[in-house]
Amino acid sequence: MASEFDLIARYFDRPAAHAVLGVGDDAALIRPGPGLDLAVSADMLVAGRHFFPDADPAQLGHKALAVNLSDLAAMAATPRWALLSVALPEADEAWLAGFARGFFGLAERYGVDLVGGDTTRGPLNLSVTILGEVPAGQALRRDGARVGDDLWVSGELGGAALGLRHLQGQLRLAEAEAAACLERLHAPEPRVALGRALAGLANSAIDVSDGLLGDLGHILERSRLGAEIELAALPVPAVLAARLPAPLALACLLAGGDDYELCFSAPPGRRAAVQAAAHSVGVAVSRIGHIGAEPGLRVRRPDGGLLDMEVTGFDHFA
Ligand code: ADP
Ligand code: MG
C-alpha cells in the first residue's frame, strides 16, 4: 500500500510557481509583494457535518478550496497560496485523484499554489489554509460599516440551501431545478474578482456562508450598528421565488447556508461605482437595504410590515 509520502508526491506535490519554496521541505517559503498585507484564513470540512461521506471527491476538492477563496474574496484579497491538511480513513487512490482534480482545477483558475499541508490517516476531514495579498490597508472588514451605507449582495441567495433540503427529502425539486441548486451547493464559485473590485468602494464586507441574516449580523455586531433589509429586494433564483413566502423557502433565503455570495455595505454616493465594478467582473449585485444607527436587523415584507423574527424563529440568526 502506498505510503503517506507516495500519496503526497503523487497527488499533492505540484510546482509552486509563485512561492520561494513549495511542497517537500519542513516549511514552505512565501514572499508577499512590497506594500501588501497578507490575508490568512482557514476552513475545515468534516464528513457527516459539512458533506456526505460518499460525496463526489472532485466536488469536495473544489469546495474545500472554494470556501477558503470566498473568505479572501470578502477581504478584497487576491488568493495566492494554500495549505491542505487531510485525514483519510484509507489510501483510496481513486478518491485522491478525484479530489486533487477538483482542488487543482479551481486552484489553477485563480493562480493559487498548494505549498504544503499534512496527510494522515483518520476520519475523513479536509482542512485548507489560504493566504492572499491585499494592498496595505485596503482589506474590507466586518467592522467598517457606516450609518447610511447601502447594503448589497452579489448573485442569488437560497439556491444552495434549497438543494440541501432537496437532498434531505424536505421538498422535491424538478430534475433541472435540482441540478441547478445542487451545483450551487457542491461547486460554489467564490466572488474573488468582485471582492477585489470593491476595494476602495465598500466600507464593509462578509461572505454569506451561514445565511444572510447571521452573516449580515456579524457586520452589524462588529460595526456596532443596525440594518433594515427589504424582502422584495433580495435576489432569489426563480425556483425559490416560486415557493415564497412558504416558511421553508423563507428559511432558505434568509438563513440558508452555502451561498458564498458577498454581502457588503457602501455609501449611497458610490451606487454607480459599485454597479460599474460589479459589471466589470460580470457579477450581478442587488441593493437590499441600508445600515442604520438603531441596533438590530429588521426585515421589511413586501406589504410594508416588518417580518416578525420571533414568530419565524429568525431572531436566532439576526
Ligand atoms: P513533516 O513531517 O516535516 O511535517 P510531512 O511528511 O508531513 O512533513 O510532509 C512532507 C511535505 O509534504 C511537506 O512539505 C508538507 O507541507 C507537504 N504535504 C503533506 N501533506 C500535504 C498535502 N495534503 N497537500 C500538500 N502538501 C502536503
Ligand atoms: Mg507533517
- CA–centroid distance, 155 to ligand 2, in Å, is 39
On whether the CB atoms of residues 171 and 165 are closer than 8 A, the answer is: yes
Rounded CA gap, 247 and 9, in Å?
Answer: 50
Q: Specify the residue with its C-alpha closest to ligand 1, atom 18.
A: 117
Burial status of residue 186 (CB atoms within 10 A of its CB: 0-12, 13-18, 19 or more): buried
Rounded CA gap, 67 and 190, in Å?
Answer: 7
Rounded CA gap, 104 and 300, in Å?
Answer: 43
Query: Which ligand neighbours the alpha carbon of 27 most closely?
Result: 1
CATH superfamily of 142-300: PurM-like C-terminal domain (3.90.650.10)
**Annotated binding residue 143:** no
**Annotated binding residue 54:** no
**pLDDT of the chain, 318 residues: tens digit per residue:** 578 889 999 999 999 999 999 999 999 999 999 999 999 999 999 999 999 989 999 999 999 999 999 999 999 999 999 999 999 999 899 999 999 999 999 999 999 999 999 999 999 999 999 999 999 999 999 999 999 999 999 999 999 999 999 999 999 999 999 999 999 999 999 999 999 999 999 999 999 999 999 999 999 999 999 999 999 999 999 999 999 999 999 999 999 999 999 999 999 999 999 999 999 999 999 999 999 999 999 999 999 999 988 777 788 777
Segments making up each domain of the chain, as ranges: 4-135, 142-300
- CA–centroid distance, 26 to ligand 2, in Å, is 8
Domain 4-135 of CATH type 3.30.1330.10: yes
- CA–centroid distance, 10 to ligand 2, in Å, is 16
Closest ligand 1 atom, residue 5 Cα = 6
**Annotated binding residue 215:** no
- CA–centroid distance, 39 to ligand 2, in Å, is 23
Rounded CA gap, 78 and 135, in Å?
Answer: 10
Strand partners, 230: 300
- Same topology for domains 4-135 and 142-300, yes or no? no
